[in-house]
A and B are shown apart, each in its own frame.
Chain A
Amino acid sequence: MLTAGCATLVPTETADEEPAKVEDRVVVDGAVLPLPDEPEIRARSIPGSQASSPVVANLLAKADGQQRSGQLDAAANSLERALRIEPRNAHLWFRLAEIRYQQGHWQQAAQMSAKSNTLVNDDHQLRRRNWYLMANAYNALGDHAKANHYRAKLQ
């Protein structure tokens, strides 16, 4: 996890999130409209690790502490706060899924993991962690077909 001190603040285009190369740019008066600057700065991503901005790292650390001391609602609250800042951060959705799982909200746990997986891009490790959590959540719900479906993906 990055801390505020060592993070280099560079706005980065996350190329891996771009859809298939298609005609998807807006043209006004014959000119392609420029892309906006990103509203938030992300720390430059370090390959293989979940990149988070300093503010999200701060809120994640807060949520971790709250989770450890059993304040699960407060931890969820901190994660929701972080998600308002970085709504497309797959790791935050996964952490929220974990909290919901710990609280016994199986349905929400599985849904949050599903959401996380739509944003996960090429972080295969995170994708597998979501599948694992979904398999367990559906198992707890008694939906063994779905549980097996996600368990099979883990093989």
Chain B
Amino acid sequence: MVAENITVKPRKKINKTGKKTISQPAATPRAARQIRRQLGYWLLRGLVIFALAVLAYLVYLDVEIRKKFEGQKWALPAHVYTRPMELFVGQRIPVSLIEDELRELGYQARADVDRIGSYTRAGSQIQIYQREFQFWDGFRGAQLSRLTLREGRIDRIETALPGGDYTEIEIIRLEPRLFGSVSPLSHEDRSLLRLEDAPAQLINALIAIEDRQFYSHFGINPVGIMRAMVRNFRAGRVVQGGSTLTQQLIKNYYLTSEQTYKRKINEMLMAILLEIHYSKEAILEAYINEVYLSQAGNRAIHGFALASRYFFGRPLQELDLHQLALLAGINNGPSYYNPIRHPVRALERRNLVLQTMFDEGYIDQQQFERAAAAELDISANVEQAAPLSYPAFMGLVRENLRDDYQQDDLASAGLQIYTTLNPRIQASLQQAAQQQLADIEQLKQLPADSLQVAAVVIRTDNGEVAAMLGDRAAGFSGYNRAMQALRPVGSLLKPFVYLTALESPSQYSLATTISDRSIVVSQQGSPDWAPQNYDGEEHGDIMLIDALAKSYNLATVRLGMELGVERVADTLRRVGYQRDFQVLPSLLLGAVPMSLLDVGQIYLSLASGGFKTPVRAVRSVLDNERQPIGRYPLTVEQVVQPEFSNLINYALQEVIRNGTGRRVLQGFKYDYGLAGKTGTTDDYRDSWFAGFSSNYLTVVWVGRDDNQPTGLTGASGAARVWSSAMQQIPLQRLRLAANDELVATRVAYSLNPDKNDCSLERQLPIHRASLPLRNLRCAKRITYDSADASRENQSGTKKADNNKKRKPWWRRIFGRKKKDG
């Protein structure tokens, strides 16, 4: 309102006096007087209209700039953090993993932990000067932590307050890393920096290089403009803009490359108006938060706080003088002085800032010389800033939050979102996917970069998504195949057919013989359906567990038709599949479209021992003031009784021990009791693998965006990515919990159905209600080698398997055992 008083009132006065002047009679002939009067009248009207127009325009500008200033001030995107790394006594963890995390957090390896944000590593000891952090459950101040490792485990943890004594403790956390923001419309990112938290040398540098009269001018600086014009004229090019910080701030509000007089004048007027309304401090605070400083992918980096994280991987408060000077320097031309693309230019510019600071007396000779001699010091992470932004995972974060928060709040309320993302596992997943896809393309002579991938790693006990990939190029933020692509899942569906059967223990056990012979299914309104096995053969009577392990289609369809498709569909819904789908017999072989996350959800119910847990990416949310406002608690719902989840998981372990998933064992040094299932769809369009250890469930899809055949089975495509990723993740062995309902039972079988000598036996977990086992005598058991060989031929691999020439493994291990041994 102040502005109107100043600008509006004087003009009204002028108008009034003007009217009086004109209305005074003058001593001239009547006609001339008439004309002059007329003229004066029109002139006056013109003046009044012009004045009103100017006035209206000023009011418009005034409203506009204030709206912008007030609005932008609070338009803080939600900030998204990784999970905090927990370090605790007894934990098995490679030191390199801790160091990777520290580096990504921007901690500097130094000779001594003499400042916040640094660490030292000496032998098996790591010392960290940890930053303060507001966790969901409380504030943790800066502290010194000392970790001692022994034989690959954390043996001892001690912490101390700065200057205090060390005391022993069982667990510490590293702070989570800020990796993204929710600002969907503008793709602009900022994080709020209060003026009092900004390093004084940054402000000094800005004022020295950009606007020395900042504290004394009224928005524009006529002397500065003149000086700039002279300097530019002398230099023959534009070396100085002459714009005040206030003008630059306004320029930033309307970021366009347009350079017109109209714009320049508007800028000046708005600068003056802004200075009338707001204090120098408020303007400066807006400035340091608002200025555009770089571009990271499609994300515009605004403000010095974020730029510091982007370029140096550390908070602004931890930067050295030369780094602050660099930020102040690139401010003048973010793309021209980009220190990554134009390091020489950026260095010159930085030293010019330092020189000016020295000339202005902000720093002394020694400070100047030391800073000017320093390297650019850009963080190694900055190159991979795009890959470190995890776009696929961000998609899930958005979806998780969509139900609880307004889009506007997400984009502007400055929420702090703490997620479940584990950057170490994400890095393993990305690395595995890139490496394996390239290898597969080479091995199968597919065009380079023709394959695409989606993958997710979920914690089995709580549904937390540790890592997610929606594209082969990890930083690519376009089509998210993990969430948006719906594909048929093929044999991934089979475990739910077999689970349905095993849940009727009086009828079915893992040892029940089922028939793998051709079947024709009549469906109302569509042609008869005659499914085929992948190897095109029939396998006769086989044990239920082997039918699943070998992924036989005929046996599965026969079993499913016996059970009823509707019952299988019910199982699917019970374990967490939520989309509408057609209940047709083809469902039994996976003709149901699912996203990768849908698969993750239903397999999670198996991996968790029969408990359904929502797959989630968010742990908790804090508001702008870092007060906790929401937590996403762990919830579970028992959907499969433990004895049946044990049976199906045992069968899924058999898939990997002796079935179609055996390929994934290549490279594993230990037996993690892995359970999983391959999936291949018609004409090899989709290659799937879903599988789990005790602690992590990973689902991988490999295929092409144009849905063309790739020639890959689940085993030769997705399973390779799965195996490579899982070998890099700290796994816990899957052990099926003891269950009173299950009994270890010896079952006799023959390898050769013609001989049928029942010379071999195996032990299987059998439900009490299935006992005594009937009609089981010597069910045929297909050998791994022959089945695998036919599969290999099918998928076009010619590589010989070492195993083939040897005796079957069970001969070597159990071969001497006799039935009644």
Residues of A in contact with B (beta carbons under 8 Å apart) = 4, 9, 16-30, 32-42, 53-55, 57-59, 73-74, 76-78, 80-81, 83-85, 87-88, 96, 108, 111-112, 114-115, 118-119, 121
Chain B contact patch, size range: 35 or more
- B733 pairs with A35, CB closer than 8 A: yes
Query: Which residues of chain B from 165 to 199 have any CB-CB distance to chain A below 8 Å in the complex?
Result: 168-171
Which of chain B's residues have a CB closer than 8 A to the CB of A78?
A: 137
Q: Which residues of A contact B656 (CB under 8 A)?
A: 26
27 contacts between A and B (CB under 8 A): A9-B90, A17-B737, A20-B738, A20-B743, A20-B763, A22-B763, A22-B764, A25-B657, A26-B665, A26-B671, A28-B665, A29-B802, A39-B91, A54-B90, A55-B88, A58-B171, A73-B633, A77-B631, A81-B86, A83-B462, A87-B461, A88-B737, A96-B634, A108-B635, A118-B609, A119-B737, A121-B738
User: Does B136 count as interface, using CB distance less than 8 angstroms?
Assistant: yes
Contact between B765 and A19, CB atoms less than 8 A apart: yes
Asked if B765 and A22 make an inter-chain contact with CB atoms under 8 angstroms apart, the answer reads yes
Bound Cα distance A29, B805 (Å): 11
Across the interface, name the chain B residue whose C-beta is closest to A77.
B137
Is B742 an interface residue, CB under 8 A from the partner? yes
B30 at the interface (CB under 8 A from A): no
Smallest Cβ-Cβ distance to B735: which chain A residue: A17
Assuming the A-B contacts A33-B670, A41-B153, A121-B738, are A55 and B90 also in contact, with contact meaning beta carbons closer than 8 angstroms in the complex? yes
Q: Name B's A-contacting residues (CB within 8 A).
A: 86, 88-92, 136-137, 153, 168-171, 459-462, 609-611, 620, 631, 633-638, 642, 646, 650, 653, 656-657, 665-666, 668-674, 694-695, 730-733, 735-739, 742-744, 762-765, 802-803, 806, 809-810, 812-814
- In the bound complex, what is the Cα–Cα distance between A59 and B171 (angstroms)? 9
Q: A30-B806, A119-B609, A121-B738 are in contact. List 15 more A-B contacts (CB 8 A).
A: A4-B168, A4-B170, A19-B646, A19-B765, A21-B763, A26-B674, A33-B668, A34-B671, A55-B90, A58-B170, A58-B171, A76-B633, A77-B136, A88-B694, A115-B636
B765 A20 Cβ-Cβ under 8 A: yes
Instruction: Look across to chain A and name the residue whose beta carbon is closest to the beta carbon of B510.
Output: A22
In the complex, the chain B residue whose C-beta lies closest to that of A42 is B90
CB distance from B647 to the nearest CB of A (A): 10
Q: Which of B633, B656, B744 has the most CB of A within 10 A?
A: B633
Give Cα A93 to B638, complex, Å: 14
A18 to B763, CA, bound (A): 14
Check if B170 sits within 8 Å of A83, measured CB to CB.
no
The residues of A that contact B642 with a CB separation of less than 8 Å are 118
The 7 A-B residue pairs with the shortest CB-CB distance, nearest first, are A20-B744, A87-B461, A41-B90, A36-B670, A33-B671, A55-B88, A58-B170
Q: Are A87 and B460 touching (Cβ within 8 A)?
A: yes
List B contacts of A119 (CB < 8 A).
609, 737
Are A111 and B611 interface neighbours, CB within 8 A? yes
Q: How far is the CB of A72 from chain B (nearest CB, A)?
A: 11
Please determine whether B90 and A24 come into contact, CB atoms closer than 8 angstroms: no
Q: Which of chain B's residues have a CB closer than 8 A to the CB of A59?
A: 171
Task: Judge whether A21 and B635 touch: CB under 8 Å.
Answer: no
Given contacts A27-B657, A73-B631, contact A111 B636 (CB under 8 A): yes
CB distance from B815 to the nearest CB of A (A): 11
* CB proximity of A108 to chain B, nearest CB, Å: 6
| Partner of A34 from B153, B670, B763 at Cβ < 8 Å | B670
Q: How far is the CA of A7 from the CA of B459 in the complex (A)?
A: 28
Contact A40 B92 (CB under 8 A): yes
Contact yes or no, A84 B633, CB < 8 A: no
A28 to B663, CA, bound (A): 10
Closest Cβ neighbor of A24 among chain B residues: B653
Residues of A within 8 A of B634 (CB): 76, 80, 83, 96
Once the chains are docked, how many angstroms separate the CA of A87 from the CA of B806? 40
A36 to B734, CA, bound (A): 11
A29 contacts B803, C-beta separation under 8 Å: yes
Q: Which residue on chain B has the smallest CB distance to residue A35?
A: B671
Question: Please, how many angstroms separate the alpha-carbon atoms of A25 and B653 in the complex?
Answer: 9
Whether B742 lies near A20 (C-beta < 8 A) is yes
Q: In angstroms, how far is the closest chain A Cβ from the Cβ of B743?
A: 6
Q: Considering the chains assembled together, what is the distance between the CA atoms of A39 and B762 in angstroms?
A: 31
Interface pair B671/A40, CB less than 8 Å apart: no
| CB closest residue in chain B, given A40 | B90
A29 to B635, CA, bound (A): 42
Q: Name the A residues within 8 Å of B461 (CB-CB).
A: 83-84, 87-88
**Interface-centre pick from A26, A30, A37, A84 (highest chain B CB count, 10 A):** A26
Assembly CA distance A132 to B727 (angstroms): 42
B673 touches which one: A4, A23, A24 (CB < 8 A)? A24
Docked pose: A36 CA to B171 CA in angstroms: 24
A27 touching B646, Cβ below 8 Å = no
Query: Which residues on the B side are within 8 Å of A57 (C-beta)?
Result: 170
Q: Chain B residue with minimal CB distance to A107?
A: B637
Interchain CB contact under 8 A, A111 and B763: no
Residues on A with C-beta less than 8 A from B90 are: 9, 40-42, 53-55
Contact A55 B89 (CB under 8 A): yes
Known contacts A36-B672, A37-B92; is A23 also within 8 Å of B814 by CB? yes
Contacts of B812 in A (CB 8 A): 30
Q: Which residues of A contact B657 (CB under 8 A)?
A: 24-27
| Residues in chain B near residue A28, CB distance under 8 A | 665-666, 668
Cβ A19 vs Cβ B737 within 8 A: yes
B744 in complex: contacting residue of A22, A77, A108, CB < 8 Å: A22
Residues of the B chain whose Cβ atoms lie less than 8 Å from the Cβ of A114: 638
Closest residue on chain A to residue B173 by CB atoms: A81
In angstroms, Cα B521 to Cα A119, docked, is: 42
Determine the distance from Cα of A114 to Cα of B735 in the docked complex, in whole angstroms. Answer: 18
Which chain B positions have C-beta within 8 A of A38? 92, 732
| Closest-CB distance, A115 to chain B (whole angstroms) | 5
Minimum C-beta distance from A19 to chain B (A) = 4
Q: Which residue of chain B has its CB nearest to the CB of A33?
A: B671
Which residues of chain A are within 8 angstroms of B631 by Cβ–Cβ distance? 73, 77
Instruction: Give the complex CA separation of A89 and B631 in angstroms.
Output: 23
Known pairs A36-B670, A41-B90; A55 contacts B744 (CB<8 A): no
Q: State the Cβ distance, A75 to closest chain B Cβ, in Å.
A: 10
In the complex, the answer to whether A18 meets B735 with C-beta atoms within 8 Å is yes
A112 — which chain B residues lie within 8 A by C-beta?
636
Q: Which residue of B lies closest to A43 (CB)?
A: B90
Chain A residues with CB below 8 A from B653, complex form: 24
* A30 contacts across to B, CB distance below 8 A: 806, 809, 812
With A77-B631, A112-B636, A115-B611 as contacts: A32 and B742 at CB distance below 8 Å = no
Docked complex Cα distance between A95 and B86 (Å):
21
